[in-house]
C-alpha cells in the first residue's frame, strides 16, 4: 500500500519531506503557497495543486447557516462577497464546519513545462465547485496544454 500526503500537511521544506518519507509517506502535495523555485528546492516526490480553488480558511461557526439557511448546504452556490465585490465560495466540510475557498482557481494547464522543470512529479486537481462539464473542460485543457477562459491564479515563478 502507498500512502500519499495531502496539501494539508503544509509541506514547505526538505526536512518535512524527509520526515514524511521516514513515516512511510510515498509522496506529498506541497503547500499551495509555494513558488516554482521553492517547489524545485523540495527535491522529492512532490505533487502540486495544478488546478483548483485553494481553501483559505476553515470556519467552525457555520457561515452558510448565518447567510442563508441549513438547506443551502445541499443546494450549493453559497459565497461571501468582500468589500471590493470579490466572491469567495463557501463549502460545507462537515456538520456545520465551512471551507472558504479562493475566489480564483489555480490553473497551470498551459504552463506544465515549468512544473516539470521544478521537479513536480504529480499533479493534484482540487475540484470543488465545478460542474461535470467544467471538470471535462479542465482535464481537456491539461491534455492539450491550453489555457482556461477567465481569470485564474498561477503558481508563482
E strand map for the chain: 3-5, 25-29, 46-52, 55-59, 79-81, 87-94, 97-101, 106-107, 120-126
pLDDT band at 157 (very low <50, low <70, confident <90, very high): low
Whether pLDDT at 70 is above 80:
no
- Which residue, among 12, 30, 24, has the nearest Cα to 122 in the 3D structure? 30
Q: Which domain holds residue 83?
A: 55-101
- Dig out the grid coordinates for 154 from the structure: 498561477
Task: Answer yes or no: is 123 within a domain.
Answer: yes
20-57 pLDDT, tens digit per residue, is: 999 999 899 999 999 999 999 987 788 999 999 999 99
CB 59 within 8 A of CB 38: no
Task: Answer yes or no: is 16 within a domain.
Answer: yes
Higher local confidence (pLDDT), 113 or 65? 113
Whether pLDDT at 140 is above 90:
yes
Residues 118 and 90 in one domain: no
Whether pLDDT at 68 is above 80:
no
Of the given ranges (33-37, 89-93, 122-126), which has the lowest mean pLDDT?
89-93
Task: Answer yes or no: is 37 within a domain.
Answer: yes
CA distance 24 to 89: 35
Residues 17 and 44 in one domain: yes
Domain total in the chain: 2
Size of the chain, expressed as the number of residues it contains: 157
pLDDT band at 78 (very low <50, low <70, confident <90, very high): confident
Residues 120 and 46 in one domain: yes
Residues 8 and 45 in one domain: yes
Residues 96 and 111 in one domain: no
Q: Quick check: pTM over 0.85?
A: yes
Residues 119 and 134 in one domain: yes
104-123 as b/e, with b when 16 or more CB fall inside 10 Å?
ebbbbbeeeeebeebbbeeb
Portion of the chain with pLDDT greater than 90, in percent: 73
- Sequence-ordered list of residues with C-beta below 8 angstroms from that of 129, at least 6 positions apart, any chain: 53, 76, 89, 91, 101
Residues 11 and 48 in one domain: yes
Amino acid at each position: 500500500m502507498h500512502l500519499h500526503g495531502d496539501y494539508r500537511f503544509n509541506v514547505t521544506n526538505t526536512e518535512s519531506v524527509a520526515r514524511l518519507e521516514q513515516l512511510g509517506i510515498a509522496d506529498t502535495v506541497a503547500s499551495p503557497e509555494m513558488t516554482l523555485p521553492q517547489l524545485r528546492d523540495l527535491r522529492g516526490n512532490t505533487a502540486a495543486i495544478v488546478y483548483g480553488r485553494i481553501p483559505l480558511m476553515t470556519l467552525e461557526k457555520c457561515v452558510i447557516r448565518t447567510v442563508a439557511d441549513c438547506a443551502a448546504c445541499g443546494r450549493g452556490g453559497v459565497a461571501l462577497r468582500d468589500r471590493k465585490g470579490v466572491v469567495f465560495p463557501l463549502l460545507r466540510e462537515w456538520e456545520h464546519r465551512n471551507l472558504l475557498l479562493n475566489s480564483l482557481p489555480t490553473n497551470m494547464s498551459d504552463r506544465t513545462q515549468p512544473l516539470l522543470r521544478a521537479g513536480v512529479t504529480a499533479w493534484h486537481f482540487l475540484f470543488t465547485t465545478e460542474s461535470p462539464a467544467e471538470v471535462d473542460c479542465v482535464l481537456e485543457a491539461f491534455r492539450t496544454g491550453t489555457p482556461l477562459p477567465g481569470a485564474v491564479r498561477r503558481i508563482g515563478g
